[in-house]
Amino acid sequence: MSRDVVIVGAGHNGLVTAALLAKSGLKPLVLERRDVVGGAAVTEEFHRGFRASTVAHLAGPLRASVAEELGLAARGLKIVEPEPRVLAPLPDGRSVRLWGNAERSAADIARTSPKDAERYPRFHRSLSAVSAFLSRLLAMTPPDIDRPARRELVSMAGLGLGFRGLGREDAQRLLRWGPMAVADFAAEWFETETLRALVCGRGIAGTFAGPWSAGTTANLLRQAAASGGNGAGTAVHVKAGLGALTRALADAARGFGAEIRTGADVERITTKDGRVTGVVLAGGEEIPARAVASAADPKHTFLRLLDPAVLDPEDLLRLRNYRQEGMASKVNLALSGLPAFTAVRGEDAVGLLAGRIHIGAEVDDLERAFDDAKYGGISRRPWLDVTIPTLVDPSLAPEGSHVMSVYVQYTPYRLREGDWPSRREEVGDAVLRLLEEYAPGIGRLVLHRQVLTPLDLERTYGLTGGHPGHGEPALDQLFVARPLLGWGRYRTPVAGLYLCGAGAHPGGGVTGGPGANAAREMLKDQV
């Protein structure tokens, strides 16, 4: 029996695609290599009694329209966004705190810089206005640049009107900001070094680039557009971890009629006469299908699952040059108690530490961390994005204990010296050395640590090159050029084969955007 659609991979984007297709009357089959759904958005026990969102640790947040259309709240999904959203502590006890409310952020900033406090509301307003415009780009299908359809021309005309609606100042800013290094962008607004570094963190997140790298402001704008444009960014926790989100998505997909099979490793996508015909599983089982949507990354999809002879040699060359080598590791800590950060001593530590904790005091600290990695070294003082999810959901650890989830950047997939199996613990050591400066004594609280290197992200979670975002979010790999110029519309040169993962527009993050956009286009094609 031929299936309507086979979806390769049950990460959050694959599940979003499946659920939306099923809700429209199709009967998709989702095939997942691992024994659990979720991809990199999973909750797993990493030490007895301690659970964490082992790879991604915060929601993107998930696109609101997707959550509403799939009824995820009714399926038990609970999200929490603590305040402040982000804390940037310093070892000497000072800190920068950003809240969802711009005036409250400004009041906090005034403790260190009245000038920055005055400028922050304007920064927040301008970023929100630009993000509101860009959010329309994230939700749309990139146009066919060779043969745009009439409806695409109408859509682009609407974007033009929206651009004019920004007003002269913000429109000019948008045009200028995109190619800028995020360090220059931050310096245009603020004088406080730690506030600048905090802004830079949003531009370098998920990139193999430093704050002085051109185009990193575009990544900040992309993330801001996906999350409402707040100057503080977001810190959306999911109760019970991100696995609860992907379980809710799987329940929705099944409820609408999709079938999900775990432990089903897709070995090959089959084709005939330039059109997809189905998939073959490891072990030889053949599953015919009218269409295949891959939530796997572009290199895995086209260089491992597909016969290279199906593609044009020039396209193969472009795929091999698609930048998809990771730079991030993840360290999960089981702690016997709450760390004592000097920056919140004598204050409400539980409240102040519940959002994101940015570890990177100065812009040059972030650039030096990148310097180590770009020459194949493990950063000695990496940039850390930290959460303590047990402050939001104590059920993730035994009573009185805590989980600390640490995103670590920069740790390159390809090391100049040695290999990851022999150097894994260097990442954990570097993280704890750095954290000791901000929370003295944290090392004595560690009961267990889990270190996931880029190689682990590749081997265990299926992220080729260990890249959490399925490829660099650089200007030449975004919008119409994601993953390649001419392939930005979820369709591929193989008829019936679609991309629905983070390697498609609008890119990475736990947003569901690529999956939702791809489902819309597949339905247009009457898959």
- Residues 187 and 205 reside in one and the same domain: yes
- Residues 442 and 487 reside in one and the same domain: no
CATH number of the structural domain spanning residue 340: 3.30.519
Please give the structure tokens belonging to residue 469: 């975002």
490 in Cβ contact with 517 (< 8 Å): yes
pLDDT in tens, 244-291: 999 999 999 999 999 999 999 999 999 999 999 999 999 999 999 999
- Residues 299 and 357 reside in one and the same domain: no
Q: Is residue 108 part of a domain?
A: no
Domain endpoint, select from 402, 431, 459? 459
pLDDT in tens, 432-471: 999 999 999 999 999 999 999 999 999 999 999 999 999 9
Q: Is residue 99 part of a domain?
A: no
- Residues 332 and 450 reside in one and the same domain: yes
> 303: which DSSP letter?
I
Instruction: Give the residue carrying structure tokens 């089981």.
Output: 334
- Residues 417 and 483 reside in one and the same domain: no
- Residues 471 and 494 reside in one and the same domain: yes
Radius of gyration of the chain (CA): 22
* Residue 181 clears pLDDT 90, i.e. is over it: yes
Using alpha carbons, select from 87, 61, 95 the residue that is nearest to residue 229: 61
What's residue 154's pLDDT? 62
Using alpha carbons, select from 249, 243, 279 the residue that is nearest to residue 264: 279
Q: Is residue 97 part of a domain?
A: no
Domain endpoint, select from 159, 193, 225? 225
Q: Is residue 389 part of a domain?
A: yes
What is the count of structural domains for the chain?
A: 3
What's residue 414's pLDDT? 97
Domain endpoint, select from 459, 479, 506? 459
* pTM of the full structure: 0.96
pLDDT in tens, 365-384: 999 999 999 999 999 999 99
CA angle 106, 110, 115 (to 5 degrees): 90
- Residues 193 and 148 reside in one and the same domain: yes
Q: Within 10 A of 191 (CB to CB), how many other CB atoms are there?
A: 12
Share of the chain above pLDDT 70, in %: 98
- Residues 277 and 361 reside in one and the same domain: no
- Residues 329 and 455 reside in one and the same domain: yes
Domain coverage including residue 375: 325-459
Q: Is residue 208 part of a domain?
A: yes
217 in Cβ contact with 199 (< 8 Å): no
What's residue 153's pLDDT? 62
408 in Cβ contact with 427 (< 8 Å): yes
